[in-house]
Amino acid sequence: MSAGKARFFLQAKWTGARSKMSRQQQTFLGNGPEMKVSIGKLELKNPVMLASGTCGYGPELADVLDLTNIGAIVVKGISMEPRAGNPPPRIAETPCGLLNAIGLENVGVEAFISSKLPWLHERNITTIVNILGNSVGEYQALAARLNKCPGIHALEVNISCPNVKEGGVAFGTDPEQAAKVAGAVVQACDLPVIVKLSPNVSDICSIARAVEDAGASAVSLINTILGMAIDIQKKTPVLGNVFGGLSGPAIKPVALRMVWQAARCVDIPVIGVGGITSASDALEFFMAGACAVQVGTATLVDPGAAGRVLQGIVDFMQENHYQSLKELRIGP
């Protein structure tokens, strides 16, 4: 752990107050255990977010999950131009997991701003936009374009998608490249910048430190783990793209280990992602050092999962007399 560790908790500001409200009210109005968390200058009402690529642009989930109760929604990755995505089949179920090779199908930044963002903005939903480019210049242009758009609260820079040929993970596996992208985005906007890291690296700390030094407000990890499945009857890979990204409960131990490592080598907040399905999963991530979590594949299975995770965290903290999330962290 680095000497500057205490700064993590200063940046992730926690305040506390209690009152005699219902458990539901306590959770959502910020009473009971302190659930607020800060990422750069962005304050989230609670630490549970919806992970990019598993929650659409919001309306897809609106009638089965109250998005205003969630810490933030991280919308499907956006590129400058619309992308059609990869040829099918795009998904395959594996034990406790899901392989996907969607290929970042998205509407493009202009359509996002004109037709997707207003819906989120009108409802005051805390919105983090996941961005993806083929070049440092494209990341920079995306950040500049989204910078002054009302309703965007932060950017998450995707340098870790395993399913596209250019960009994506190519920037996420080399500390120098990762820092270039992060620095360019930070320069191009006034928004807090989260960098989403790939697990497909041998040294997560060097990447995390590189983007921290480049000015990132936080890191989120992990993106999916590169994998594949083969249909033995057809003697062919299951996915049209051959390889895909593995998500779901199967990857949680890997994600937890990498969050533990990252939380001990950077001072910026670490957001835990990877296989979180229940409150106990999320609590493991807080104990490993995460200041917030993202619920991803679980939402695909159970659209209300994030709300259940949030409530379960509050229940656990109350039952075990934790006043704040930072108290959950193990050791240094």
Partner 1 sequence: MPGRFDISSRIVSQKEIAPDTFLLRLYAPEIAENAVPGQFVMVRPGLEEERDPLLRRPFSVHRADPDAQQIEILYRVVGRGTRMIARKQAGSHLQVLGPLGRGFSLPKGKIPILVGGGLGTAPLLFLADVLEEKRAVVVLGAVTRSQLLRLQDFSSTGLEVLVATEDGSLGNRGLVTEVLDRLLGRLEKDARKNVVVFSCGPMPMMRAVAGLCGNYSVECQVSLETAMACGLGLCLGCAVCSDTGAFLHVCRQGPVFPAGQVDWSKI
Residues with a known catalytic role: 161
Q: Which of 12, 49, 73, 102 binds partner 1 (CB under 8 A)?
A: 102
Tell me: does residue 237 bind partner 1 (CB under 8 A).
no
Candidates 172-180, 217-225, 256-264, 293-301 — which segment interacts with partner 1 by CB under 8 A?
A: 293-301
Binds partner 1 by CB under 8 A, chosen from 70, 73, 80, 92: 92
Q: Which is nearer to partner 1, 104 or 291 (CB)?
A: 104
Helix axes 204-213, 252-263, angle to 10 degrees: 50
Residues binding partner 1: what is the number (CB under 8 A)? Answer: 36
Question: CA angle 180-182-184, nearest 5°?
Answer: 65
Q: Rounded to whole angstroms, what are the CA distances from 36 to 74, 182, 238, 292?
A: 17, 25, 42, 10
- Smallest gap from Cβ 161 to partner 1, in A, equals 13
User: Which helix (H) or strand (E) covers residue 28, if one does?
Assistant: helix 23-29
To the nearest 10°, report the CA torsion of 272, 245, 119, 312.
-40
Quick check: 91 binds partner 1 (CB under 8 A)?
Answer: yes
Residue 63 touching partner 1 (CB under 8 A): yes
Non-local CB neighbours of 36 within 8 Å, separated by 6+ positions: 13, 14, 15, 30, 43, 44, 45, 46
Tell me the two tokens of residue 130. Answer: 């996941």
Cα Rg, the chain, nearest whole Å: 19
Identity of the residue, 36 or 252, whose beta carbon is nearer to partner 1 in the bound complex: 252
Q: Say whether residue 88 binds partner 1 (CB under 8 A).
A: yes
Per rule CB under 8 A, is residue 274 in the interface with partner 1? Answer: no
What is the binding site for partner 1 (CB under 8 A)?
53-56, 60-61, 63-64, 76, 84-85, 87-93, 95-98, 100, 102, 105, 248-249, 277-278, 297, 299-304
